[in-house]
Amino acid sequence: MFLAEVIGQVVSTKKDEQMVGRKLLLLRPKLVDEKDPTKFKDGQNTIVAVDTVGAGDGELVMFCQGSSARAAQGLKQIPVDAAIIAIVDRVEVKGKTLYKDA
């Protein structure tokens, strides 16, 4: 599982029939900064993930990839490689709050 910020949406009018009605969100992975573990730094890539929890722009989410993504509710037979599985309320690192939902 990984952390990421929702930075946008992906809209596709033509897609695999099993993907109809699924919301696709664009994610920017967040990594704990090894120089200052009280801060996040952006990952190098962006991820398109199927939203299973109703996430929105700017939210911090937890996502999984590969076969783990297909283990999320309702995705077993769908061709996905990444799925949002949680909206994060708080992240603590070494006893310090790194993120807290407003």
Cα–Cα distances (Å) from 44 to 20, 29, 30, 70, in that order, read: 29, 8, 9, 24
pLDDT digits (tens, 9 = 90+) for 41-66: 999 999 999 999 999 999 999 999 98
Per-residue pLDDT, 75: 76
Q: What is the residue range of 11's domain?
A: 2-100
Per-residue pLDDT, 51: 95
- Residue 71's Cα: distance from chain center in Å? 15
Per-residue pLDDT, 24: 96
Per-residue pLDDT, 67: 80
Per-residue pLDDT, 5: 97
Per-residue pLDDT, 70: 81
Residue 78's domain is classified under what CATH number?
2.40.50.220
Residue 4 structure tokens: 């990421």
pTM (2 d.p.): 0.90
Give residue 57's region: left, alpha or beta (phi > 0; psi -120 to 50): beta
Strand pairing of 40-42 and 96-100?
A: unpaired
Cα 66 from Cα 50, distance rounded (Å): 12
Collect the ranges in the chain with pLDDT lower than 70.
Answer: none
Cα 2 from Cα 50, distance rounded (Å): 14
Number of domains, the chain: 1
